[in-house]
């Protein structure tokens, strides 16, 4: 479980992040999340109390359906023990509270089994991308530490993490490298764009789903990276784009804030290196690929 007794005494240290960086990455949104065992006492009135705590920074509150729990498993399928539960007809189910700042660029989300901190390129489309090591990670750590103190003060329960998630949403523009959705091979190096004969021309559009194992320190799998690529259009001028979503999930069994951040770093580093690996050198030039850290 998280150690809430010493949460204020652990100084932030820069993560030992590795992997490539880009001067102008196509990132449109970043979400850092810790999934945990459900907190039965996190009722709507307690959520309202938490909003009062963060309302100055996140004045806008909306309610949404919860994010489904996800567990990455490996090897042969296992039988998960069913949970016995009783539901009252027409009783409201769990919801996800979303708190936003006035610009809609920074968000915090919580539900009985998940805590999320988001950044998105919402109002200011030309805003400089805030870096993981200097912005996203320390903001998440500060937020989750304060959330732990809130849980302790209101005797809601111990937060028992079981998985961390890092999600990057990228909106890839043509950049003079490609023009049509059928030219995904110009963006993704993992696609050859070749056919065995001349029967088919360029496809109208291509959707891609990729999965990669994330290895632990001993080489055994500890998580999985999910990548989806979809053809979309920019709303304001109908410019064709590719939406490349990457989500790294890494399992964790209990532990404290530093344990969660360590596995989050693992997922982040694997994700950003994978993004470089699957994309082409031509796109790297457009995004300004820098030396690896």
Q: Which residues of 104-130 are buried (b: 16+ CB within 10 A; e: fewer)?
A: ebbbbbbbbbbbbbbbbbbeeeeeebe
Specify whether 29 is located in the same domain as 164: yes
**Cα separation, 109 vs 66, whole angstroms:** 10
How many structural domains does the chain have?
Answer: 2
pLDDT in tens, the chain (293 residues): 554 443 333 444 444 456 788 999 999 999 999 999 999 999 999 999 999 999 999 999 999 999 999 999 887 655 555 555 455 555 566 799 999 999 989 999 999 999 999 999 876 666 677 889 989 999 999 999 999 999 999 999 999 999 999 999 999 999 999 999 999 999 999 887 777 788 888 888 889 999 999 999 999 999 999 999 999 999 889 999 999 999 999 999 878 999 999 999 999 999 999 999 999 999 999 999 986 55
Q: Which residues of 19-58 are buried (b: 16+ CB within 10 A; e: fewer)?
A: bbbbeebbbbbbbbbbbbbebeebeeebbeebbeebeeeb
End of a domain among 106, 135, 159? 159
Specify whether 229 is located in the same domain as 118: no
Specify whether 136 is located in the same domain as 189: no
Specify whether 26 is located in the same domain as 153: no
Range of the domain at 254: 20-33+160-293
End of a domain among 102, 128, 159? 159
Specify whether 279 is located in the same domain as 166: yes
Specify whether 135 is located in the same domain as 193: no
Specify whether 154 is located in the same domain as 219: no
C-beta neighbour count of 79 within 10 angstroms:
5
End of a domain among 107, 128, 159? 159
Q: Which of 251, 205, 264, 200 is nearest to 229 (CA)?
A: 205
Specify whether 287 is located in the same domain as 197: yes
Q: 212: exposed, middle or buried (C-beta count within 10 Å: 0-12, 13-18, 19+)?
A: middle
Specify whether 292 is located in the same domain as 190: yes
Specify whether 113 is located in the same domain as 200: no
Specify whether 181 is located in the same domain as 235: yes
């Amino acid at each position: 479980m998280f150690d809430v007794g010493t949460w204020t005494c652990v100084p932030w240290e820069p993560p030992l992040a590795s992997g490539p960086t880009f001067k102008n990455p196509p990132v449109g949104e970043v979400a850092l999340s810790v999934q945990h065992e459900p907190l039965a006492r996190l009722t709507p009135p307690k959520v309202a109390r938490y909003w009062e705590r963060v309302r100055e920074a996140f004045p806008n509150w909306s309610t949404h359906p919860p994010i489904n729990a996800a567990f990455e498993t490996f090897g042969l399928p296992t039988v998960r023990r069913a949970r016995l539960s009783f539901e009252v007809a027409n009783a409201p189910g769990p919801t996800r509270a979303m708190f936003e700042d006035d610009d809609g660029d920074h968000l915090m989300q919580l539900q009985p089994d998940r805590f999320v901190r988001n950044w998105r390129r919402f109002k200011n489309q030309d805003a400089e991308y805030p870096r993981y090591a200097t912005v996203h990670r320390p903001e998440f750590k500060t937020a989750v530490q304060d959330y732990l103190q809130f849980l302790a003060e209101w005797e809601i329960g111990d937060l028992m993490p079981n998985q961390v998630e890092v999600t990057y949403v990228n909106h890839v523009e043509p950049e003079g490298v490609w023009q049509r959705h059928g030219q995904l091979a110009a963006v993704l190096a993992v696609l050859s764009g070749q056919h065995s004969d001349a029967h088919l021309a360029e496809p109208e559009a291509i959707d891609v789903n990729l999965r990669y194992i994330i290895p632990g320190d001993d080489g055994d799998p500890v998580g999985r990276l999910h990548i989806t690529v979809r053809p979309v259009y920019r709303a304001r001028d109908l410019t064709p784009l590719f939406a490349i979503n990457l989500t790294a999930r890494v399992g964790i069994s209990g532990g404290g804030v530093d344990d969660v951040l360590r596995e989050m770093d693992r997922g982040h580093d694997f994700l950003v290196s994978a993004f470089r690996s699957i994309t082409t050198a031509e796109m790297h030039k457009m995004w300004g690929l820098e030396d690896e850290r």
